[in-house]
Structure 1
Amino acid sequence: MVWPWLQRLGEGLVDLVFPPYCVACHAGSPEHLCAPCVASIRRVERPLCHCCGRSLDLLSVSPHSSFRGRALCARCQSLPAEFDCCRAYGWYEGALRAAILALKYRGKTAVVPALAGLLGRTLEEEPVLGRAETLVPVPLHPRRQRERGFNQAELLARALAARSGRALRCDLIVKTRHTRPQVGLNAEQRRENLLDAFAFQGQSAPAGPILLIDDVTTTGATFHACARTLRAAGATTIYALALARD
C-alpha cells in the first residue's frame, strides 16, 4: 500500500519535472483532463428512465410504463430498484473511460478534481439529485482497497463534498464479502452476486436525502445493493450518481 501523503509527494515531484498532462489524450493540461476531451464526452441523452437513468430510446418501453407520471424502462418495471433515482454524466467510452481507467489502475489521482467537476455539473443539471444532503461513496472490499491503495469512489465523493458543501459519510456502509467480477452477468445475476455483500455500520442513517457515489454503473446492481443496506437502516430517500454508464 502506498501512503496517500507519499503518493501526493511523488505526484508533485513528477509535475516539477514533467508538466501536467491530460490523462486521456496526453496533451498539456493543468487539470489533467483537457477541455477538448471533456467536450468530446458523449452524454446520456434524454429522455431518461426516471429511476435508473438509462436512455429510454435504447430500451423497450411500453406505452403505459410509468410511476407517478414518470417514465420507467422495462428493466425498472421488472426489477424495481432500491434507490429513487440514478444518473451518470456520460457513457463509459473515449476520454471519460480513459480518465477513469487512469485513476483506478494507474493511480492518476490528480484527475479527481476534474472528474468531481463533472459530477458537480450533473448535480446542477438534475434538480432531484440536487436535493441530496449527504454523500456516501460505494465502498470497496478491504482487500481490493489494500491492493489499489485507495477507493476511487471515496476520492470522488470527497472532492464533490468539498465543492458542493455537502456532508460526507464514508463510514456508513462497508463491503463485507469479496464478490466475483460482474462482467458477463445479466442484471438479475449481478444483483444475486451482490446479495448481502454490504453491511451498515453506523448508529442510524442520515435523516435527509442520501446520494451514493461511484465511478461506473452498468445495471445499477451495486447502487441497488448499497441502497438496500441503507434502507434497512432507516434511510428514506436515496439517489445515486456515477461518472459513467457502461
Structure 2
Amino acid sequence: MATFLTRNLKSKMTAGERRFYDLLAQHLNDDYLIWYNLPLQGNYRRYPDYLIFHPKYGLLSIEIKDWAMKALKKLKGHHQLTLDFGQGESTYDSPLEQARSSLFPLINKLKEDPLLLQTEGVYKGKLIIPWGYGAVMTNWEYQKITDVARGAIETLFPRKTTFYKEDILEGNLSQTEFIEKLHGLFPYQFNYPITFEQATRIRARIFPEFIVNADQQVFF
C-alpha cells in the first residue's frame, strides 16, 4: 500500500478524491509517498490535490475534479475553460494547468539545493528527478464525448495526461494498467536511481518535517 503522509485524509475529501485515494492505496506499494492537499509556498499558497513522490520515478502533481460534463460551456485556448454550475458562467484555469502551476513553487525550491541538480550531460543544471502532472475528471466519460467535440476537449484534457471516469471505476484498469497510466504522466525517465540522501532532501523540502540522516544532519 502507498505511504500516505497527510493525516485525516478521507474526512476532507470529495467523492472523486476518495475514489482516487482508494486506487492509489490499492495499486501502489509503500515506496510511493503521497501528500493530500499540501500547501506549497509560492507567491500564494497552492494546494495540489495529490502530490506523489517515488525515488525512482519522480514527482507528480494530480488535480481532481468532480465537474459534470454539462457544466462545460466553452474552451478558451489551451489553459482555460468556462463553466456554469448554476450561478452563471465563470472562467477557470484547466485542471492540468492547476496541477502544473501548483508544482512550480516546489520545483523552484528543489532547484536551490545543488545536490538535487544534474551535474553533467544534456540535463546539466536540471533536477535529478523527472516531474509531471495530471488531471482526474471523475464524472467525464471519454466514450460519451462526441467525435465532433473530442478534438477540442483533448486540447485541454489529453488522453495521455487525463484520467477519465472509465479509468477510475473499480475493476476497469488492472494494477499494471493503472501504474502505466500514472507513470505516463512523466515526460521522460532517467535510467539511474537517486541516493537515499537526495531522496531525504526532496522529502524534507516537500514538507518541513525533521529528518535526520546518518551523519545526524537535520533537514527541515
Task: Tell me whether the two structures share a fold, i.e. TM-score over 0.5.
Answer: no
Choose between structure 1 and 2: higher strand proportion: 2
TM-score tier by shorter-chain length is under 0.3
More helix by share: 1
| TM-score normalised by structure 2 residue count | 0.28
